[in-house]
Amino acid sequence: MAWNNQKRQYVGQGSMSKPLLSIGKLRHRIKLQTYISSKNSFGEERKVWSDFAEVSASVEPLSGKELFAAQQLHAESTVQIIIRYVEGVNTQMRVLFKEKSLDILHVSNKDERNIALYLLCKEHEEVV
């Protein structure tokens, strides 16, 4: 049985109910950035990353692999990030976490309830 309080969303029955998104899991700070066009002093259009939001998040590594392509070694890791719902987040954005830049591959709004967003991200880093 699920019920909705004005301030919080709960799941469970009676005294066994618990918050759907625990504050303890959201212990990391991330920045969401969007790609925008701007003009330089010569009037040329150039694209730059602009901060969209800074939020608390849960960052969980899912997998990692190394690729050897074109005589260069590349490391890829897949990460799942869980944040509170923020309207407007899409796959054209990126996530900055510590000194890592992560591309957003998929954005999932579980059950379309606007409680949390699950971001599937990929870090692509050249090793050698």
Distances (CA, A) of 5 to 8, 9, 35, 113: 5, 6, 37, 13
Q: Which amino acid does the sequence have at 70?
A: A
Does residue 45 surpass a pLDDT of 80? yes
- How confident is the model over 11-28, as pLDDT tens digits? 544 444 455 677 778 999
> Rounded to an integer, what distance in angstroms lies between the CA atom of residue 103 and that of residue 37?
18
Rounded to two decimals, the pTM is 0.72
Predicted confidence at residue 5, as pLDDT, reads 46
Query: Is the distance from CB of 68 to CB of 79 less than 8 angstroms?
Result: no
Q: Is 15 exposed, middle or buried (0-12, 13-18, 19+ CB in 10 A)?
A: exposed
Q: Compute how many other C-beta atoms are within 10 angstroms of the C-beta atom of residue 121.
A: 24
* Rounded percentage of the chain residues whose pLDDT exceeds 70: 73
pLDDT tens sequence across 79-120:
999 999 999 999 999 999 998 999 999 999 988 889 999 999
Task: State whether residue 87 is helix, strand or coil.
Answer: coil
